[in-house]
Structure 1
């Protein structure tokens, strides 16, 4: 029975890893559908290569930072054979698939940032940023929250009565990625031609609405692996997480539909906004609370995207800061509201602990974003030249466009 349970847990976590891995295709197509045609190849290549760099950075450095575990052991040790203490490596390679699962979360950080800095970022400097962020920056906060390292959770619990609760990463993953992206976007500056001299915005429509929608759908489906399988064992799985994810997604869609006046970009991103927000408290909220969390997030995204692009002149191409940054922050706080028993939740969370933990993540991410991209900007440069940006990243970097036959006819 022990062998069966271990094997089942290994398979369960592996399927979660595969589902979240598939979400990276969603990130790619969401970006492909939003950017101009001359930058579509770059979006596809960037997401894939970022994942490869993330894997190496997290395997050799990041996982050690977050959990104090290194993989520099014999294969027999890694799969739990022999006299290996159970707390080091589990049987049947459980900790290996756990690494795979958590890697897909870590690799979401550069995938999120990619959408914000699209169309004007250099390729290899962005890969350097990915290595730093996934190897050091993200694992530091991940370890503080999920690895209970560095005394963060002990301090939160001792000071505010409850530890900081983030079941599936509203703050650890999404807010972290969104607020780092804000630092990156501001450091790069707006795309050439995005704003007029008088401050007015020049509209740049999405290149392909079906691709944008496809990206959203892939992300939505994978998200149920992202949230439900964050339990990381069969014993811990809960149908409450699944139904709360569903309700938050629906709330986000309908709120974005109304607030965005039927705009398809807002509708498809509204689903993602709801799912971002519910991650933190999906295991403790009542489904009605999850619906409210998602609806507020959907409206919040539409409002934030408009303010970001038009009033504050922050050229965040895919709106990753309002989507992941603002909605992620709301999700961390919402867990401390709708997770309370008074609001129909299971309890075990505190509003103040959630607020302080969420703000700590935001501040850490924002400082890291400006620091990493600021240093790279001052040293090796992170922005394409005006001519390269005009030609497009596809030709400037990869020397081929998304539609080569059309280029030949031209």
Structure 2
């Protein structure tokens, strides 16, 4: 490869990494706008600290688990194309890009466990999840570890196809979050003595909306730049992402009866679902996939909160867990040539890979958060939960000057 082509790939992947890094601000502000004001500082700190922990743990442990590459070599080898490393640090920016994916796992979980989770146990959970649990599944799907992809291809004609992580990132994060939420229990006052839901409105719809917009913009780096090089980049991925996003918005608008929270999360539902097949589906298929995801999120959120009494604050299980699973399966339908897709995908492989990912994540979530519950406890005390995580953990509120009455 020429220096110019390698440099172009380095810049391409780096821009993608920066865009996905910016999405973590979107996760933060989406949570800030949804939780009560007394928990806003905690939302901001959690996402930033989890990203820092994720980067360190993924650098030293997780990336090696997934791809067998260690960074315990000199800088000349890292950046100059030594054994296992591409020229001009291309491998390094790919690591940065994949780190932003790995850090999405605790960022997703953060929204479900908001307002009553202790800070230190969540930091410890991030270490376990990003260091071991997530990269093990990531390596199976994206690096062919343990021969599972080879078996699926030999048995069904194609391996499990998850181009940008509907299952690897989103479903895994969402199903881990479900385990954490179930172990934590509902927020104080969320349900009355008869089990009837007590409404807790979002603290700021503008913050929520800004979080959604930041995520939507960054998602085009999340999906398009998963290609990993300029030569492999495809406009089809961009248009499929766009169509799924607008499909999710429109159906969530209708199913959610104009509720702004559903509308802004409907965009994310569509984008979650399209990740897996964004490189092989037709734009009309992506519109359908995103549209279905918008309805799935709205109905899933209502069932989760009102029927199942699962207090998943931001609805991360229906948004990421269920819509991510739908996206994994949908790639095996709308990616087929019969639906104007590019083909090269198997419905059975998609079904098996998706179900396996959800089950694996749920079990991993119960193991990690269950162990932490026994060893450290997960919940804030009733007193701390009453005053809010901002004052209980960080000793400052979102508006300290206002609190002082100045």
Smaller-chain TM-score range?
over 0.9
Mapping of residues 46-65 of structure 1, within 5 Å: 46-65=46-65
Q: CA RMSD in A?
A: 0.8
Q: How many residues align?
A: 406
**For residues 163 and 284 of structure 2, what CA distance do their matches in structure 1 show?**
18
Partner of 1:15: 15
Partner of 2:124: 128
| C-alpha distance after superposition, 1:112-168 (max 9, x if no partner) | 000000000000110000010000000000000001111111121122221000000
Partner of 1:339: 335
| C-alpha distance after superposition, 1:223-280 (max 9, x if no partner) | 0000000000011000000000000000000000000000000000000000000000
Mapping of residues 160-175 of structure 1, within 5 Å: 160-175=156-171
User: Where in structure 1 are there 5+ consecutive unaligned residues?
Assistant: none
Partner of 2:74: 74
Decide which moves more: 262-271 or 143-152.
Answer: 143-152
CA shift, 1:196, in A, is 0.8
**For residues 30 and 220 of structure 2, what CA distance do their matches in structure 1 show?**
18
CA shift, 1:80, in A, is 2.3
Instruction: Identify the match of residue 210 of structure 2 among 197, 214, 218.
Output: 214
| C-alpha distance after superposition, 1:282-309 (max 9, x if no partner) | 0000000000000000000000000000
What is the SS of the residue equivalent to 1:150? helix
Question: Is 1:189 aligned to 2:189, yes or no?
Answer: no
Mapping of residues 289-300 of structure 1, within 5 Å: 289-300=285-296
Instruction: Identify the match of residue 234 of structure 1 among 230, 254, 260.
Output: 230
Mapping of residues 133-152 of structure 1, within 5 Å: 133-152=129-148
**For residues 358 and 147 of structure 2, what CA distance do their matches in structure 1 show?**
18
Partner of 1:391: 387
Question: Is 1:308 aligned to 2:281, yes or no?
Answer: no
What is the SS of the residue equivalent to 2:145? coil
Question: Is 1:362 aligned to 2:361, yes or no?
Answer: no
**For residues 204 and 394 of structure 1, what CA distance do their matches in structure 2 show?**
18
After superposing on structure 2, the runs of 4+ consecutive aligned residues of structure 1 that deviate more than 4 Å are: none
**For residues 151 and 132 of structure 2, what CA distance do their matches in structure 1 show?**
22
**For residues 53 and 391 of structure 1, what CA distance do their matches in structure 2 show?**
27
Question: Is 1:198 aligned to 2:194, yes or no?
Answer: yes
**For residues 173 and 2 of structure 1, what CA distance do their matches in structure 2 show?**
33
**For residues 131 and 375 of structure 1, what CA distance do their matches in structure 2 show?**
13
Instruction: Identify the match of residue 255 of structure 1 among 206, 230, 251.
Output: 251
**For residues 147 and 117 of structure 2, what CA distance do their matches in structure 1 show?**
37
